[in-house]
């Protein structure tokens, strides 16, 4: 089965084309500046990357450009577009209505629209991609894979906030969490590595990138998560503050005269590593600046590591056991000093880092703790696109059976 995976942003379309016979990637790419002048398609196939200037005034035209490229005689990988048997879409928010990957119909589209207020930067462009794909590939099953689905198993004690019940019932104020597709992928992969069924594994998974989140996994199911109503809660991130005293918002409004929009922008786009370091939202830049004596960058690294270790400690306390700690994402997969520092901060629960193993596990699966560490720490590169492709294949097969 050939599966086309689409991830639409407000001005971009990421894509991968999979042959699910062996789960190989036939092509991948990114169309940038959709709806703007100077659109560029970065298309990779047959181990070659092509940069093509195009005119993509909207997602519908952009997707047609991508599909035309996939069948291009020179750089394409398909003889005709009819070879695509399923399209998988990343959708950020399914609210409480959808708890698993599902075939897209009018009801699913309504759910995506209904939850747009909870994910205004993501659900609308996700839906634009769906509508564009349904127009271009009208006879091909379209499947929605929701970031929130893996986290739908959180119990009320984990997802409810201590606010008036009406806030939850009328305004849907609760913890939803995000990055669920990534957390699910590494959970399944960890079970394979540990030689257990997914129903047996108890894990703490940490997706550490520009956006960061953590999940407590018991018996293969999510029971707690660090992000909340929005992706702002939880860990320190590239530009997001993570946890703060809610009263800071009112304090800055009254004392500094900031508007709610200004505070919102600051907490989401000017805080985190960028706000602490004054250097960059990229951990690599912070590490380099710290090496040169920048104390603010060094503090940013320490606060980041400390917050991760603190969440791990909290999740360790609520799990029935912990088979492993998993790190993934750009920082988790690549930042040696941060991984090492997090492990060092966990020495009081028996984590013993192995520096040589840490150095060897770059962008690949690897154990970074010593053999006598009470809790192993594994690096597992995430693959959300493959998870989406697998779900799409499974949903399409279920359709065929029915």
Q: Which residues are catalytic?
A: 147
- Residue 161's SS3 state is coil
Can you give the C-alpha Rg of the chain in angstroms?
22
- Alpha-carbon distances, residue 178 vs 95, 293, 339 (angstroms): 11, 35, 22
- Residue 386's SS3 state is helix
> Which DSSP symbol is given to 172?
-
Question: How far apart are alpha carbons 210 and 273 in whole angstroms?
Answer: 9
The three-state (H, E, C) secondary structure of 23-54, written as one string: CEEEEEEEEECCCCCCEEEEEEECCEEEEEEE
Consecutive H or E run containing 4: strand 2-8
| One-character DSSP codes across 214-276 | EEEEETTEEEEES--SSTTSSS--SS---S--THHHHHHHHHS---HHHHHHHHHHS-HHHHH
Question: How far apart are alpha carbons 402 and 153 in whole angstroms?
Answer: 27
Among residues 150, 145, 271, which one has the least CA distance to residue 215?
150
Consecutive H or E run containing 136: helix 123-136
């Amino acid at each position: 089965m050939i599966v086309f995976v689409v991830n639409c942003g407000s001005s971009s379309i990421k894509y991968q084309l999979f042959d699910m016979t062996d789960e190989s990637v036939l092509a991948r790419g990114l169309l940038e500046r959709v709806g703007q002048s100077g659109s560029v398609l970065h298309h990779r196939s047959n181990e070659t990357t092509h940069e093509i200037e195009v005119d993509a005034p909207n997602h519908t035209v952009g997707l047609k450009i991508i599909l035309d490229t996939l069948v291009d005689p020179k750089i394409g990988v398909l003889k005709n577009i009819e070879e695509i048997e399923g399209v998988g879409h990343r959708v950020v928010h399914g609210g409480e209505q959808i708890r698993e990957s599902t075939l897209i119909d009018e009801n699913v589209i309504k759910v995506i629209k209904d939850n747009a207020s909870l994910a205004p930067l993501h659900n609308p462009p996700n839906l634009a991609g769906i509508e564009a794909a349904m127009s271009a590939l009208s006879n091909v099953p379209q499947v929605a894979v929701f970031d929130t689905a893996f986290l739908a198993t959180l119990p009320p004690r984990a997802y409810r906030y201590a606010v008036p019940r009406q806030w939850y019932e009328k305004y849907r104020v609760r913890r939803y969490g995000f990055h669920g597709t990534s957390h699910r992928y590494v959970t399944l992969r960890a079970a394979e590595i540990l030689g257990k069924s997914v129903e047996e594994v108890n894990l703490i998974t940490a997706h550490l990138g520009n956006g960061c989140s953590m999940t407590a996994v018991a018996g293969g199911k999510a029971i707690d998560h660090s992000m909340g109503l929005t992706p702002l809660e939880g860990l320190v991130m590239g530009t997001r503050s993570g946890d703060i005293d809610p009263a800071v918002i009112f304090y800055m409004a009254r004392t500094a005269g900031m508007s709610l929009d200004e505070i919102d922008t600051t907490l989401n786009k000017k805080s985190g590593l960028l706000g602490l370091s004054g250097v960059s939202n990229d951990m690599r830049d912070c590490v380099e600046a710290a090496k040169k004596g920048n104390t603010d960058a060094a503090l940013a690294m320490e606060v980041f590591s400390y917050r991760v270790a603190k969440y791990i400690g909290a999740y360790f306390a609520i799990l029935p056991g912990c088979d492993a700690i998993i790190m993934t994402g750009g920082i988790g997969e690549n930042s040696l000093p941060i991984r090492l520092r997090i492990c060092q901060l966990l020495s009081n629960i028996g984590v013993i880092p192995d520096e040589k193993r840490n150095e060897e596990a770059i962008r690949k699966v690897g154990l970074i703790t010593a053999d006598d560490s009470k809790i192993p720490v594994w690096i597992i590169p995430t693959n959300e696109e493959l998870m989406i492709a697998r779900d799409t294949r499974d949903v399409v097969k279920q359709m065929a059976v029915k």
